[in-house]
Amino acid sequence: MTIFALHSPEASLVLEQSGDALLWRHLGQRVDAAGLPPLASTRGAATFSLDEDVPFATAPGLGWFGPLAVSVAGRVLRWAVTDVAAKPGSLRVTLNDADTGLLLEQILRLLPGGGFEISATLGNDGPVPITIDHLASALLPLPAGLHRMLSWRGRHAAEFVECVEPLPAHQWRRETRRGLPGHGGPPGLYLLGQQAGWDQGLVLAAQLAWSGDAALAVERDDEGRHFLSVGAADGFTLEPGERHAAPPLLLAVSGQGRNGAMQQMHGAVRARLDWLRPRPVHLNSWEACYFRHDQARILELARAAVAIGAERFILDDGWFRGRDHDRAGLGDWTADPHKYPDGLKPLAEGVNALGLEFGLWVEPEMVNPDSDLYRAHPDWALHVPGAPQPTARNQLVLNLSLPAVEDYLFTALDRLLTNVPIAYLKWDHNRDLAPAGGLGQVQGLYRLLARLRAAHPNVEIESCAGGGGRIDAGIAAFTHRFWTSDNLDAVSRVTIQRGFQAFFPPELMGAHVGASPAHATGRRQSLGFRAGVALPGHFGVEMDPAKLPEPERAELASWIAFHKQWRHLLHGQQLVMGEGPDGLLWQASGEDREWLLLVTRTAPPQDRRPQPLALPFLAGAGPVHARLLARAGSTPHRGFGEPALLATLSGDGVTFPADWLAHAGLPLPPLLAESVAVIHLKA
């Protein structure tokens, strides 16, 4: 028997090589694996089961009745370990099935921030093609003591709706069939121990780094154990000599509650990024003018953006030929001669001359039937021969598995990026895929993005899909930002953004100040509250500032300046979240000695006076100086009787013992519904 272990500061993955199998011994909080007895010595005979015990392995074989690592119709695969290569921080396992010639390589490695990445590659060393029904990226045992699950569902303009369920008695499964992750967020989930909360208890978080259809399953066997199986949902065929890499699974295991798992997940995602610079404040043209624009109108809007302190201007949909509505033009990526008779270059140069970066909206994966591209190449659209081609938003989807389509799109976008000073692409995707296109569609997208990034390394790309329909760690490796939701209603955004940050760091979260009333919901909110909610993300504006009354325009400019002043604490740092008394929600971002705390109230208070807010992350930090920097939103009238301490807290600030703040709590100012308190904390 040989024991292999990977240890993070908080967790351990422990396996045992026994004969031809690599058996799971532990996945959970950190343990000392030295001197373990063999697994076989700990498992007695079970009633009404096989005479020879079949324990859970990384690639289970005959006699295992749970989920499989690889599924081939009509075949029983008998995996045998041929090699285990252990290095500091990683473990590579190679297995083969002698009957088929299939070769399976599984890699487990430690990531910056304390999380793990688990991946699988399947190869065909046999003489004939083999159709694979399913390849699991990871097949994992869940630690004992888990009690409930968090997952997220959603729709357009209502992303990241948190769902809480007990661990299943049989099986829980989430499978997408729309060709992209969808508005419920990435293919991922959180699993919580009995006593787990925001700051304590065992929590396991997982997300698949994949932008297509995926399947996640949590299953309980009759021995009482739970297992997690995660992988892309599409099957494929392996030709002789071919290799197929499954998308990796990002895994977090923490004994420090949801915040510990979230921080590991942020570290895992940040490890996939190849850029780091302050996030420029955006102004996007879409809700300011929709399709109704021309060069003069856009330059006027750009001047309004400069006046409030924006750093980047995005020209959204409506700039290309035939695009006066959403029924035509997709696929023909040349400037509309009526709106921009000299092309986009003079416009972009004019925006640059104002001191703004210029960004452009594109939707490369789509085509309108009313377009020159579709008329020339109707066969380039995804379709089932002989079946109807359903449109959505009046558009079809290009088949990115076709080399000709990939080459056409690269040429069209490369020409734009070469001839026009474009610093940023807002890359949209405004429909579900029917048919879905399978693995080839996602792989073609990744190839196209990789080619564009290589040719134009300084151009940033945003992933947008009808708002938050394609937010995942797979596409994060090629992009710089996610558009979180088309819903800019600030009350809706509070929960949407908290769901986003369960998996992704805030610097990737597009968060804009929209108009009031909100275009998605019709609700009215103060400008301060809209800005306070957008503050932690990649900040932007989604309206025409020139249409605001002068006092509101000045207030918006002040919030942009405020965001710039503090984004060094909001982005690239450690994030913690929690819930306070009487419906308060809070989050703090920073490092060991300095934090920016945002306390949000969406509904009216039920209590007579605000209760102190406990901040467990400050325990042991020493004296902490707290200063109330701003209250965004409605300000209480005099009848609320604000405490005398508030004047000091709002002025020079107050110093508290850190353990007092961690356990007894920070005194808070009164907050009305739809308001945010911004507090600076420094040890």
Q: Following DSSP, what letter does each residue of 468-484 receive, concatenated?
A: BS---HHHHTT-SEEE-
113 φ, ψ (degrees, to nearest 5): 95, -5
Q: Which residue has the tokens 């965004």?
A: 632
For strand 102-110 and strand 90-97, is the pairing parallel, antiparallel, or unpaired?
A: antiparallel
- Going from the C-alpha of 93 to that of each of 72, 247, 484, the distances in angstroms are 20, 17, 38
For residue 35, the Cα-to-chain-centroid distance in whole angstroms is: 40
Measured CA to CA, the distance from residue 36 to residue 84 in angstroms comes to 19
Kindly report each contact of residues 192-195 with a partner whose C-beta sits within 8 Å and lies 24 or more positions away, as own/partner. Answer: 192/146, 192/147, 192/148, 192/149, 192/150, 192/258, 193/145, 193/146, 193/147, 194/145, 194/147
- Cβ-Cβ contacts under 8 Å for 375 (sequence gap 6 or more): none
Q: Which of 199, 317, 336, 428 is catalytic?
A: 428
Q: Count H helices, E strands: the chain?
A: 13, 37
pLDDT for res 213: 97
pLDDT for res 199: 97
Residues of the chain scoring pLDDT < 50: none
Q: How buried is residue 329: exposed, middle or buried, by Cβ count under 10 Å (0-12/13-18/19+)?
A: buried
pLDDT for res 605: 94
Tokens of 654: 């107050």
Q: How buried is residue 162: exposed, middle or buried, by Cβ count under 10 Å (0-12/13-18/19+)?
A: middle
User: Which neighbouring-strand residues pair with 97?
Assistant: 79, 102
Tokens of 573: 């740092």
Measured CA to CA, the distance from residue 439 to residue 430 in angstroms comes to 19
DSSP symbol at 582? G
Tokens of 313: 């201007």
- Cβ-Cβ contacts under 8 Å for 537 (sequence gap 6 or more): 484, 497, 506, 507, 509, 510, 511
For residue 76, the Cα-to-chain-centroid distance in whole angstroms is: 36
End-to-end distance of the chain based on CA atoms, in angstroms? Answer: 50
Measured CA to CA, the distance from residue 666 to residue 678 in angstroms comes to 13
User: Which neighbouring-strand residues pair with 633?
Assistant: 675
- Cβ-Cβ contacts under 8 Å for 547 (sequence gap 6 or more): none
Tokens of 121: 């590659």
pTM above 0.85, yes or no: yes
pLDDT for res 639: 60
Measured CA to CA, the distance from residue 634 to residue 623 in angstroms comes to 31
The yes-or-no answer on residue 213 being catalytic is no
Measured CA to CA, the distance from residue 610 to residue 94 in angstroms comes to 59
The yes-or-no answer on residue 51 being catalytic is no
- Going from the C-alpha of 395 to that of each of 177, 321, 400, 518, 640, the distances in angstroms are 19, 15, 15, 26, 54
Q: What is the 3-state secondary structure (H, E, C) of 83-140?
A: EEEEECCEEEEEEEECCCCEEEEEEEEECCCCCEEEEEEEEECCCCCEEECEECCEEE
Cα angle 365-369-375, degrees, rounded to a multiple of 5: 100
pLDDT for res 344: 98
pLDDT for res 266: 98
pLDDT for res 638: 62
Kindly report each contact of residues 565-571 with a partner whose C-beta sits within 8 Å and lies 24 or more positions away, as own/partner. Answer: 566/535, 566/596, 567/278, 567/279, 567/539, 568/278, 569/594, 569/595, 569/596, 570/506, 570/507, 570/535, 570/536, 570/596, 571/278, 571/279, 571/505, 571/506, 571/507, 571/538
Quote the radius of gyration of the chain (alpha carbons, Å): 27
Measured CA to CA, the distance from residue 30 to residue 11 in angstroms comes to 4
Q: How many CB atoms lie within 10 A of CB 98?
A: 11
Q: Which of 199, 472, 486, 544 is catalytic?
A: 486
210 φ, ψ (degrees, to nearest 5): -155, 140
Q: Nearest to residue 169, comparing CAs of 195, 148, 194, 138?
A: 148
pLDDT for res 46: 85
pLDDT for res 1: 86
